[in-house]
Chains A and B, each alone.
Chain A
Amino acid sequence: AQTVTQSQPEMSVQEAETVTLSCTYDTSESDYYLFWYKQPPSRQMILVIRQEAYKQQNATENRFSVNFQKAAKSFSLKISDSQLGDAAMYFCAYISTVNNDMRFGAGTRLTVKP
């Protein structure tokens, strides 16, 4: 069974600085998708960024980028120029192309200090 591990329960970053959130996963499949979701306090979960496993190029969405290392099964999220609005719970997620069963990591709570 696929598992997703986020080893950092909490992270803190100074406003305007850069922070990297870690995620590793375990799978025997070769084709899958990876996502980072953001859940602000008492607000809806939203998709931050996605990565197709067959693509070698790392995905980028404005200030958010990933470092996807397929062989190492690692999928970290880098947030540049951190803003107060980035404070949230961040979840790494994996989904197989075979089924629609999405697996989530335990989450990393990001605090942004002004």
Chain B
Amino acid sequence: KAGVTQTPRYLIKTRGQQVTLSCSPISGHRSVSWYQQTPGQGLQFLFEYFSETQRNKGNFPGRFSGRQFSNSRSEMNVSTLELGDSALYLCASSLAVAGGVNEQYFGPGTRLTVT
């Protein structure tokens, strides 16, 4: 089975711009979660999508949004980019079986640099 893929792998944007990141989960996985990883804040949960619905949301401003498509692929959007948005954005997928062990499988991440 192919792993979680994320595109693009690297991105450089300017303050004020917007960006869209993409994540394709492992085949059969219905849940996709997004995380922001920075040296100062560590791994912070952004949101989780399951069956095209946002099921959980972390403590991030509304500039951060996402969606999930019927094939479970997910996109994350950040509008009005700020310098502090520079980070590694990780996507993780899981089976999300009720009562099951839903370990998450991570993609390689998208390294976003805001200048």
A106–B42 touching, CB < 8 Å:
yes
B48→A100 contact, CB < 8 A: yes
Number of interface residues of A (CB under 8 A): 22
Judge if A52 is at the interface, Cβ distance under 8 Å. yes
For the complex formed, measure the closest distance between the CB of A58 and the CB atoms of chain B, giving whole angstroms: 16
CB of B79, distance to nearest CB on chain A (Å):
24
Closest chain A residue, CB of each to CB of B108: A44
Please tell me if the beta carbons of A100 and B31 are within 8 angstroms of each other in the complex.
yes
Main secondary structure of the interface of A (DSSP, over half): strand
- Is B89's CB within 8 Å of the partner chain A? no
Assuming the contacts A100-B96, A102-B33, asked whether A33 and B45 have C-beta atoms less than 8 A apart, the reply is no
**Which of B's residues lie within 8 Å of A, judged by CB?**
3, 31, 33, 35, 42-43, 45, 48, 50, 55-56, 58, 90, 92, 94, 96, 99, 101-109
Other A-B pairs beyond A45-B106, A104-B35, 19, CB < 8 Å = A33-B101, A33-B103, A35-B103, A37-B106, A45-B90, A47-B105, A50-B101, A91-B43, A95-B103, A97-B99, A100-B31, A100-B50, A100-B56, A100-B94, A101-B45, A102-B33, A102-B45, A102-B92, A107-B43
